[in-house]
């Protein structure tokens, strides 16, 4: 049994070269490690920006996660290890362990229950749940019968549910009565009720809501509601997995972009499954039978409501047959050592979290991890935002005991899986760099004309070849898909004549995928991500559109105009700064009224979007700095928010210089 899947840089380089030179040969070999009902006839059909992978093949993601393991005689092994948040003084936390056979049983029953409710292949089911095993069962049950899921993070508000249900035209919602978060109950069902009430009587009215009983909080059951436990009690246990075309939709996941409304990122079945399976295997070095004395237990701390949870708690993990741990609650409940308590209790071997969490742990103090035995850990991972070298070093030293490789994984909701990352046991790391592209990833730093930048020169991060996990579209918005990801570089005729690009690309503005990040490569070819180039900010590793927050603010009666920018934040990486112009009728009379209005606006944004979108700083201002053509000068606002009052910014197009002076004087908070 190898210790590391990819054990040397020579091996990485030759495999990477092969994956770029012969992607079809490379990916067909990997795909054969999984189960297909019918084989594909063509590995890749690339007509930019449309890729079809494993054309003509049929498969099922639930089958590969669950049934395939049972068929191979691993039915008794642990698939999902779950720990609840509350800790009982006598018995400790609630722990549930689901084997592959259990998962097969549970997903089959719930899939049959969904069928009884009228859910069919091709439908989109909305899921708004806490981190309970039924969430994994619900998504796999959808995949089993060929329904796509659209999971909404449980921290989002009822307005966010309305927007997504309307966009996806989803008729069924699966939720919980509540979910535990830092000792309190998040009223999930009440949020769903509020959304359904708003949609009642419209063409997007919700027909069925399935409710998992978790917190036993008081809820009202309406005629459209069904208890999960009642449905599954009556459901038959036999439900074969539906053969799905490789390009059938597996899920939609809404993520923020430059406009006020999140977009539904569309992922399909075959390529996504192969890509997440293979990246998870190599990046986390998943080996089910590695060491009989210490079986691997993998833990990703993300919520399944984000892409990290989709790809690296469920779809990429289960086919690798290493137990995946799901934890329900907060990292600091009941104390700041909860995560280390979990690592020790379950002997976690691979641990995957976000830089924002690492910065919080650093702040809470070394004594918490030091109070626990973390010697089981073998590989540490990070995702979601750039990690500052100081946090990297702390993670390496205090959590990894200086023996665990750190994989800093760069990817996006759109990429489906990890794209640029070290391979543990193989790639020499540099704190703060996500290092080198993974297999099949042709990443490059380009200027605005699509030419590669020299070493150590910043530019646009682009991917020049299709990869199996890539998004297939923005649900219902073809033009936005092209404009957002495929429009930066013009294909020049010379390249076409030189045979570098095939003719179908002539009709497409760009054959390269543009990630929306800026980055540089150093002299060793290592990638250093510098940040977003659009109006998207990354708050605690979660993506938010500044326009979304602005739309929420101006929806309040007191606000005339708002501009939102990111600002440096010790824990969150990027915090939210809002500059707000108030209606004259709402001008606060004194400091107390000013503070109260700021609190009201923060709560209002929380209601419109969710708690993660609440501004960290609000400044009231008579006017916003604008160019002569009326565009808000965000660059200036970013400098003001960052406390760079002595702005060296170019202000030659600023309409009114007194605005800037007033802004830098005005009080923060």
In sequence order, what are the residues at sequence separation of 6 or more whose Cβ sits closer than 8 angstroms to the Cβ of residue 661? none
Q: How far is the CB of 362 from ligand PRX (least distance, A)?
A: 18
Question: Pairing between strand 443-446 and 406-409?
Answer: unpaired
How crowded is the C-beta side of 592, counted as CA atoms within 13 Å? Answer: 0
Angle between helices 133-145 and 100-116 (to 10 degrees): 60
Decide whether 49 or 355 has the Cβ nearer to ligand PRX. Answer: 355
Q: How far is the CB of 434 from ligand PRX (least distance, A)?
A: 5
Q: How far is the CB of 492 from ligand PRX (least distance, A)?
A: 27
Q: How far is the CB of 519 from ligand PRX (least distance, A)?
A: 9
Tell whether omega for the bond before 49 is within 30 degrees of 0, i.e. cis: yes
What token pair was written down for 528? 């250093």
Query: Residues in the site for ligand PRX, rule: CB under 6 A?
Result: 255, 307-308, 383-386, 408-413, 434, 515-517, 529, 532, 538, 543
Return the ∠ at Cα 269 (arms to 268 and 272), rounded to 5°. 80
Return the ∠ at Cα 495 (arms to 489 and 497), rounded to 5°. 140
Decide whether 84 or 386 has the Cβ nearer to ligand PRX. Answer: 386
Q: How far is the CB of 317 from ligand PRX (least distance, A)?
A: 15
CA 654, distance to chain mean position in Å, is 37
Decide whether 424 or 625 has the Cβ nearer to ligand PRX. Answer: 424
| Residue located via tokens 């030179």 | 21
Decide whether 265 or 639 has the Cβ nearer to ligand PRX. Answer: 265
Q: How far is the CB of 363 from ligand PRX (least distance, A)?
A: 20
Decide whether 108 or 356 has the Cβ nearer to ligand PRX. Answer: 356
Q: How far is the CB of 412 from ligand PRX (least distance, A)?
A: 4
CA distance 35 to 67: 10
CA dihedral 411, 549, 621, 603 (to 10 degrees): -120
CA distance 441 to 483: 22
Decide whether 176 or 441 has the Cβ nearer to ligand PRX. Answer: 441
CA distance 123 to 115: 11
Q: How far is the CB of 517 from ligand PRX (least distance, A)?
A: 5
99, 76 in Cβ contact below 8 A?
A: yes
CB atoms within 10 A of CB 521: 23
Q: How far is the CB of 419 from ligand PRX (least distance, A)?
A: 9
Q: How far is the CB of 567 from ligand PRX (least distance, A)?
A: 16
In the chain, how long is the greatest CA-to-CA distance? 75
CA distance 331 to 587: 40
Return the ∠ at Cα 587 (arms to 583 and 589), rounded to 5°. 170
Decide whether 134 or 385 has the Cβ nearer to ligand PRX. Answer: 385
Decide whether 393 or 623 has the Cβ nearer to ligand PRX. Answer: 393
Beta bridge partners of 513: 463
Decide whether 412 or 484 has the Cβ nearer to ligand PRX. Answer: 412
In sequence order, what are the residues at sequence separation of 6 or more whose Cβ sits closer than 8 angstroms to the Cβ of residue 334? 87, 183
470, 448 in Cβ contact below 8 A?
A: no
CA distance 521 to 525: 5
Decide whether 268 or 538 has the Cβ nearer to ligand PRX. Answer: 538
Residue nearest to ligand PRX (CB): 413
Decide whether 172 or 276 has the Cβ nearer to ligand PRX. Answer: 276
CA distance 175 to 168: 17
Q: How far is the CB of 300 from ligand PRX (least distance, A)?
A: 11
């Amino acid at each position: 049994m190898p210790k590391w899947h990819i054990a040397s840089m020579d091996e990485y380089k030759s495999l990477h070269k092969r994956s770029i030179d012969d992607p079809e040969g490379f990916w067909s070999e990997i795909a054969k490690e999984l189960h297909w009902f019918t084989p594909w006839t063509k590995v890749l059909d690339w007509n930019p920006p449309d890729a079809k992978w494993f054309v003509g093949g049929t498969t099922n993601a639930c089958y590969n996660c669950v049934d395939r393991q049972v068929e191979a005689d691993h039915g008794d092994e642990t698939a999902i290890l779950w720990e609840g948040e509350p800790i009982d003084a006598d018995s400790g936390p609630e722990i549930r362990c689901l084997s592959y056979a259990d998962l097969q049983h549970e997903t089959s029953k719930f899939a049959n229950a969904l069928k009884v409710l009228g859910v069919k292949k091709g439908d989109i089911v909305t899921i708004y749940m806490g981190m309970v095993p039924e969430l994994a069962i619900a998504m796999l049950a959808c995949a089993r019968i060929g329904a796509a899921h659209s999971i909404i993070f449980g921290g989002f508000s009822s307005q966010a549910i309305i927007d997504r249900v309307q966009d996806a035209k989803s008729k069924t919602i699966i939720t919980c009565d509540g979910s535990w978060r830092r000792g309190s109950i998040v009223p999930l069902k009440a949020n769903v009720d509020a959304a359904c009430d708003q949609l009642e009587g419209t063409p997007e009215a919700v027909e069925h809501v399935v409710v998992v009983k978790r917190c036993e909080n008081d809820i009202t059951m309406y005629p459209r509601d069904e208890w999960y436990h009642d449905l599954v009690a009556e459901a038959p246990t036999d439900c074969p997995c539906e053969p799905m075309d490789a390009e059938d939709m597996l899920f939609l996941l809404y993520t923020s972009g430059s406009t006020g409304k999140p977009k539904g990122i569309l992922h399909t079945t075959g390529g996504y499954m192969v890509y997440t399976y293979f990246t998870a295997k190599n990046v986390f070095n998943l080996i089910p039978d590695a060491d009989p004395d210490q079986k691997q237990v993998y833990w990703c701390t993300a919520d399944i409501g984000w892409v990290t949870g989709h790809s690296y708690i469920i779809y990429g993990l289960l086919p690798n047959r290493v137990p995946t741990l799901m934890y329900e609650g907060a990292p600091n409940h009941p104390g700041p050592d909860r995560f280390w308590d979990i690592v020790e209790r379950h002997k976690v071997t691979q641990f995957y979290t976000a830089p924002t969490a690492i910065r919080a742990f650093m702040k809470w103090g070394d004594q918490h991890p030091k109070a626990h035995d973390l010697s089981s850990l073998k590989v540490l991972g990070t995702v979601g935002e750039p990690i500052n070298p100081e946090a990297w070093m702390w993670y390496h030293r205090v959590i990894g005991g200086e023996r665990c490789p750190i994989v800093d994984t760069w990817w996006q909701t759109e990429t489906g899986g990890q794209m640029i990352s070290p391979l543990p046991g193989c790639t020499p790391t540099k704190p703060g760099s996500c290092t080198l592209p993974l297999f099949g990833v042709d990443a490059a730093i380009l200027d605005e004309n699509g030419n590669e930048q020299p070493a150590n020169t910043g530019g646009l991060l682009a991917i020049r070849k299709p990869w199996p996990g890539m998004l297939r579209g923005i649900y219902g918005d073809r033009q936005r898909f092209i404009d957002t990801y495929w429009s930066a570089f013009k294909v020049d005729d010379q390249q076409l004549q030189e045979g570098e690009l095939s003719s179908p690309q002539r009709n497409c503005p760009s054959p390269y995928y543009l990630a929306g990040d800026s980055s540089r490569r150093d002299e060793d070819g290592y990638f250093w991500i510098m940040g977003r180039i659009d109006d998207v900010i990354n708050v605690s590793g979660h993506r938010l559109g500044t326009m979304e927050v602005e739309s929420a603010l101006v929806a309040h009666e007191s606000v005339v105009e708002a501009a939102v920018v990111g600002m440096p934040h010790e824990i969150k990486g990027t915090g939210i700064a809002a500059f707000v112009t108030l209606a004259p009728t709402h001008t606060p009379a004194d400091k107390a009224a000013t503070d109260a209005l700021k609190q009201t606006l923060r709560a209002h944004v929380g209601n419109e979007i969710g708690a993660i979108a609440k501004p960290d700083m609000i400044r009231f201002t008579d006017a916003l700095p604008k160019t002569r053509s009326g565009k808000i000068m965000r660059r200036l606002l970013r400098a003001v928010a960052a406390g760079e009052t002595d702005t060296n910014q170019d202000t030659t197009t600023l309409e009114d210089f007194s605005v800037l002076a007033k802004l830098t004087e005005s009080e923060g908070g």
